Structure 1
Amino acid sequence: MTEHYYSQRPSVASDERKIRVDVRGVSIDLVTDRGVFAKGGLDEATRRLIETVDLTGATSALDLGAGYGVVTAVLGRAYPLVEWTLIDINERAIDLAIRNTAGLAKKPIAIVHDGIPEEMDSVYDHVLLNPPIRAGKAVIYRLYEESHRALRHGGKLWIVIQKKHGAPSTFEELQRHYGSVETVYKKSGYFIFCAEKD
Structure 2
Amino acid sequence: MSDHYFSAAPGSRAVPRTVSFSAYGRAYTLTSSSGVFAGDRLDLGTSVLLREAPLPSRPGTFLDLGCGYGPIACVLATEQPGATVWAVDVNVRALELTRTNAATLGIAGRVRVATPDDVPDDVSFDQVWSNPPIRIGKPALHVLLERWLPRLTPDGVAWLVVARNLGADSLQRWLNGEGWRAERHASSKGYRVLAVRRS
| TM-score, structure 1 as length reference | 0.91
Q: CA deviation at 1:181?
A: 1.6
Mapped to 2, the partners of 1:153 and 1:111 lie a distance apart of 24
| Aligned twin of 1:51 | 51
> Is the 2:32–2:39 Cα contact (8 Å) retained in structure 1?
yes
Report the equivalent of 1:11.
Answer: 11
Amino acid at match of 2:126: D
Identical-residue share of aligned pairs (%): 29
- In structure 2, how many angstroms separate the alpha carbons of the residues matched to 1:4 and 1:30? 21
Displacement of 1:53 after TM fit? 2.1
Report runs of 4+ in structure 1 exceeding 4 Å deviation: 115-118
Give the Cα–Cα distance (whole angstroms) in 2 for the partners of residues 52 and 149 of structure 1: 24
Cα deviation 1:12-67 (Å, max 9, x = unaligned):
01111222122221212111111000111101110111122221124110000000
Query: Per-residue deviation at 1:148?
Result: 2.0
Preserved contact between residue 182 and residue 195 of structure 2 (Cα < 8 Å):
yes
Amino acid aligned to 2:160: I
Question: Are the counterparts in 2 of residues 181 and 196 from structure 1 also a CA contact under 8 Å?
Answer: yes
Can you give the 5+ residue segments of structure 2 that lack an aligned partner in the other structure? none
**What is the aligned-residue RMSD (CA, Å)?**
1.9
Q: Is the 8 A contact 2:59 2:81 kept in 1?
A: no
- Give the corresponding residue for 2:99: 98
**Total equivalences in the alignment:** 196
Relative to total residues, which structure has the larger helix share, 1 or 2?
2
The one-letter amino acid paired with 1:119 is D
Amino acid in the other structure paired with 1:93: A
CA–CA distance in structure 2, aligned partners of residues 176 and 153 of structure 1: 19
| Amino acid in the other structure paired with 2:121 | E
Q: Could you tell me how far 1:116 is from its partner in structure 2?
A: 8.3
CA distance in 2, matches of 1:19, 1:25: 16
Q: How does 1:23-172 map to 2 (within 5 A)?
A: 23-54=23-54, 55-102=56-103, 103-104=106-107, 106-113=109-116, 119-120=121-122, 123-172=124-173
Displacement after TM superposition at 1:2 (Å): 3.7
Question: For the Cα contact (< 8 Å) 2:90–2:115, is it kept in 1?
Answer: yes
Partners of 1:110 and 1:49 in 2: CA distance: 21
Cα 1:165/1:12, change in 2 over 3 Å: same
Name the stretch that deviates more: 152-161 or 173-182.
Answer: 173-182
Question: 1:133 and 1:78 mapped to 2: Cα distance?
Answer: 27
Contact 1:179 1:195 in 2 (8 A): yes
For residues 118 and 143 of structure 1, what CA distance do their matches in structure 2 show? Answer: 16
